Structure 1
Amino acid sequence: MSDADATPVLLVVDDDDAIVELVRRYFGLHGFRVVAAADGRAMRAELLSSPVDIVLLDLGLPGEDGLELTRYLRMHWSGPIVIVSGRGDTVDRIVGLELGADDYVTKPFDLRELLARVRSVLRRSQERAAPRPAAGTLRFAGFTLDPASRTLVRADGSTVGLTTGEFDLLVAFVERPNHVLSRDDLIGALHGREAGPYDRSVDMQVGRLRRKIETDPAEPQLIKSVRGAGYLFTAKVERR
């Protein structure tokens, strides 16, 4: 956590003062320190001045909307994002997750559920960031995957930029080559058993991962779709 006393810092990006105050009081009672921003400019300033652990982001903001800010955060900030929005359409949810949000909660929300989701996302983020014992590297199709340092390197030595979700997805594939992995298997690798209604986000993550490791993403040879069953990682994997 950010503070010496392990108090997590939650940044609420919302221009509705009533919701900000509601979240501030409730989360404050449950061990969080809450800071707030009403728009993108204030959000950036807060990220520079506060050691933020997780962002709670509304979509309907003045100026830049929440989807634009999600894209910005994923490019410039490595922490977890939970979108909280009155937009309940499936398209908005999928786009938010596609842009890199870790969860999506619709308004009006139950504070207990929101707290549980924030804690879950924060816990997963901390587990991924925790130092891992050296387990050697895995090589496939000219790539070298290092689970300990969470890096993927091409044959020419350049590093492939992967999001946390993309990396976890690739590890799931590489650890079980030539086994069909169902969407439930992959959801477990990405979210634990808390994926809820966002199963389609797995297909999107697979699509993004293909664009980064396949020679021709339109005709994937490493991650193949198995109709009605899931996905199959076909590459030969060598452990070092």
Structure 2
Amino acid sequence: MNNRVLIIQTEPPLSSDLLSQAYREHGYHVEIATASHSRERILQVASQSEITVVELRSDDAQMFALCEWLRQHWRGPLLILTSAFASADVVRVYQMGADGLHPYPWSMRVVMARTEALLRRSQGRLCSH
């Protein structure tokens, strides 16, 4: 597998290095960014990635704004890993353009399964039949 994943972490990260380690163990090339990186740099790395995974706290307005901006400029699969449990937060995540959502604490097996499903779907959209 030669898939590339961009992980945009909160500061401090919700998962420390567990998330990036799990992706690497599944054969992914991992790039890490935070909301403090320039948006142009994040877009550049996202454009080279098959999927972007974002750690999102429900009270992190800067990260919500980054996700909304990223969705306006990039159309690849966007998986949100969130600490948000209120239905209003979940609705907001999907309204900003997320393709999938998984609440914290997350199961790495479920995160990998969601990632693979999103990649299959996105690759299917690119095929002409």
- TM-score tier after normalising by the smaller chain length: 0.7 to 0.9
* Distance change (3 Å), C-alpha of 1:39 and 1:78: same
What's the counterpart of residue 107 of structure 2?
A: 110
Q: Which residue of 2 aligns with 1:153?
A: none
Q: CA deviation at 1:58?
A: 2.0
Q: Classify 1:125/1:29 alpha carbon distance in 2 versus 1 (closer, same or farther; 3 Å).
A: same
- Asked whether the equivalents of residues 84 and 106 of structure 1 are also in contact (C-alpha less than 8 Å), the reply is yes
Q: How big is each residue's C-alpha offset from its partner over 1:150-172, in whole Å with a ceiling of 9 and x where there is no partner? A: xxxxxxxxxxxxxxxxxxxxxxx
- Residues 1:34 and 2:27 are matched in the alignment: no
Correspondence for 1:120:
117
Deviation at 1:78, TM superposition (A): 1.2
- Same amino acid, percent of matched pairs: 25
One-letter amino acid matched to 1:52: S
Query: C-alpha separation between the residues in 2 aligned to 1:57 and 1:84?
Result: 6
For 2:23, what is the secondary structure of its paired residue? helix
- How big is the shift at 1:32? 0.8
Tell me: higher relative CO, structure 1 or 2? Use CA pairs within 8 A at least 6 residues apart.
2
Match for residue 73 of structure 2 among 76, 83, 91:
76
Distance (Å, rounded) in 2 between the aligned partners of 1:99 and 1:8: 25
Q: Are positions 1:129 and 2:117 aligned together?
A: no
- What's the CA shift for 1:62? 6.4
Q: Which residue of 1 aligns with 2:96?
A: 99
State which drifts further: 118-127 or 34-43. 34-43
Normalised by the length of structure 2, the TM-score is 0.85
Which one has a larger percent helix, Structure 1 or Structure 2?
Answer: 2
Give the paired residue count. Answer: 126
Structure 1 residue 58 corresponds to structure 2 residue 48? no
Consecutive unaligned residues of structure 2, counting only runs of 5 or more, are none
CA RMSD of aligned residues (A): 2.2
Q: Secondary structure at the match of 1:19?
A: coil
Q: Which amino acid aligns with 2:86?
A: D
Give 1:10's match in structure 2, choosing from 5, 14, 20.
5
Gaps of 5+ in 1: 1-5, 134-240
Match in the other structure for 1:222: none
